[in-house]
């Protein structure tokens, strides 16, 4: 039996430019740009610094949130990226970038 399979990998959403943040330990940061209605997921990369992230609206800290190390690359749902709050580990700056994808 033959089959034709498409869309095994996310397709870049050309209708929306990515967003870059410098996350510090001074204040919680969130992505500010609008998400395209066609977006289903985002690729998140964290470089040059570790950070904490929460997805429930609370302030991330060393005792609250998920610890993400520098050189992290993964996919998040659009909703997770929209509600994420991030703060860098003390004394570091995390450079965070997202790119939107469709399926």
Condensed to tens digits (0 to 9), the pLDDT of residues 54-84 reads 999 999 999 999 999 999 999 999 999 999 9
Domain count, the chain: 1
* Domain, as residue range, for 50: 11-102
- Please report whether residue 1 resides in a domain: no
Give the integer Cα–Cα distance in Å for 102 and 77. 11
Is residue 5 included in any domain, yes or no? no
User: Is residue 89, in this structure, part of any structural domain at all?
Assistant: yes
Q: Is 97 helix (H, G, I), strand (E, B) or coil?
A: strand
Cβ-proximal residues to 55 (8 Å cutoff; 6+ apart), any chain: 80, 83, 84, 85
Q: Is residue 6 part of a domain?
A: no
**Residue pLDDT, tens place only, 5-58:** 555 567 777 767 789 999 999 989 999 878 888 888 899 999 999 999 999 999
CATH code at position 91: 2.60.120.10
pLDDT of residue 102: 83
Q: What is the pLDDT of residue 28?
A: 92
The pLDDT of residue 62: 92
Domain assignment present for 88: yes
pLDDT at 38: 85
* Average pLDDT of the chain, as a whole number: 88
The SS3 assignment for 23 reads strand
User: What is the secondary structure of 31-73 as a DSSP string?
Assistant: --SPPPTT--EEEEEEESS-EEEESSSSPPBTTBSEEE-TTEE
């Amino acid at each position: 039996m033959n089959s034709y399979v498409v869309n095994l990998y996310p397709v870049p959403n050309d209708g929306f430019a990515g967003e870059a943040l410098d996350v510090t330990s001074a204040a919680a940061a969130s992505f500010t740009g609008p998400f395209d209605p066609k977006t289903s997921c985002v690729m998140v990369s964290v470089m040059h610094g570790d950070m904490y992230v929460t997805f429930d609206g609370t302030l991330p800290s060393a005792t609250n949130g998920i610890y993400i190390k520098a050189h992290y690359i993964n996919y998040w749902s659009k909703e997770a990226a929209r509600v994420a709050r991030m703060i860098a580990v003390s004394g570091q700056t995390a450079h965070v970038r997202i790119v939107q994808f469709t399926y």
